[in-house]
Amino acid sequence: MVDVLVTGGCGFIGSKIVEKLINKNYNVHVIDNLSTGNKDNIDLDKVTLHVQDINDPEIEEVFKNNTFQYVIHQAAQTSVPVSIEDITSDTKINILGSVHLIDLANKYGVNKIIFASSAAIYGDPKQLPITETTAADPTSPYGLSKYTIEKYLQLAHSLYGLNYTILRYANVYGPKQTSLGEGGVVSIFDQYFSSNKTPIIYGDGLQTRDFIYVDDVAEANIAAIDSENGIYNVSCNEQTTIEQLFQYFKGIYGVDVEPIYESSREGDIRHSILSNELTLKELDWMPKMSLAEGLKQTVTHVMGEEEK
């Protein structure tokens, strides 16, 4: 049985990856400090959970006492506004914590790191759709931290032979998501609608995002296990305005409400659509969930949780 370590494995995306790894008979370990993750998100009878922070020196014992073939690195500070407000904390978690993992992975013979990067590394490019060869130009400390670790992984491969796959996520959404992070607008809207509060849209609502369902992201991570070294966009290759997203929620909830418009936030980009052509070809992966259906499933899950 192949041993896999998932950092942030109790979180929104990480727990879905863990679920799929279990179904494929991997022996799964999780490192999570539970700051945003929840151990109820994973099956503790089938997973070895280490409640630790990726910056803790003690996590070396986890590597020393196991033989991991793969590390799927999801643990991160994922909020652009938080990264702007507290650049030191963002750097400590996203850069120093990740470098610590790379160091341990190399020291203890890990075959490959699969890294959760982000569309935020591209900044706000003028030419769309964004491809993997689009120049990186991050507009936030969060985007810069992700790009920094991409370069560390490429350097670690050159220096030590540590293999890597970098997955640049578009705006991920789905059940169990919190209001933090890049796809968090879906969760934020859901909170507004489910609590009968007036939604807030930052900017004019015409800014666009490329939303992708969490199950599809998890499948991309599974596909990356057997892939060559490389960088791949994980997206639906579709643009949706925030106004359109708002209208989806109005339809799902069946309410007649208008949003409050407030000023754009620092660090937010205007438009984002990621080409997934290379990913479809080289990872033999394809997103399966439409936005309309994915939003319905997300809302259904939230309603079910509220009824418990």
Q: Which of 122, 142, 169, 232 is catalytic?
A: 142
CA angle 140, 267, 274 (to 5 degrees): 80
φ, ψ for residue 59, nearest 5 deg: -70, -10
**Measured CA distances, 14 to 26, 48, 96, 176 (Å):** 15, 14, 20, 11
Q: Write out the two tokens for 4.
A: 């896999």
What three-state secondary structure class fits 118? strand
Q: How far apart are CA 203 and CA 91, in angstroms?
A: 28
Residue 229 near residue 276 (C-beta atoms within 8 A)? no
Cα dist from 161 to 106, 113, 186, 226, whole Å: 8, 11, 39, 16
The span from the CA of 62 to the CA of 55, in Å, is 13
Burial level of 254, CB count in 10 A (0-12/13-18/19+)?
exposed
191 Cα distance to chain centroid: 20
**Alpha helices for the chain (secondary structure H):** 12-23, 60-64, 80-85, 87-91, 97-107, 141-160, 184-194, 214-224, 242-253, 277-282, 291-307
Determine the 3-state secondary structure of 211 from DSSP: strand
The residue among 51, 297, 298, 76 whose CA lies nearest residue 167 is 76
Q: Is 142 a catalytic residue?
A: yes
Residues tagged active-site? 142
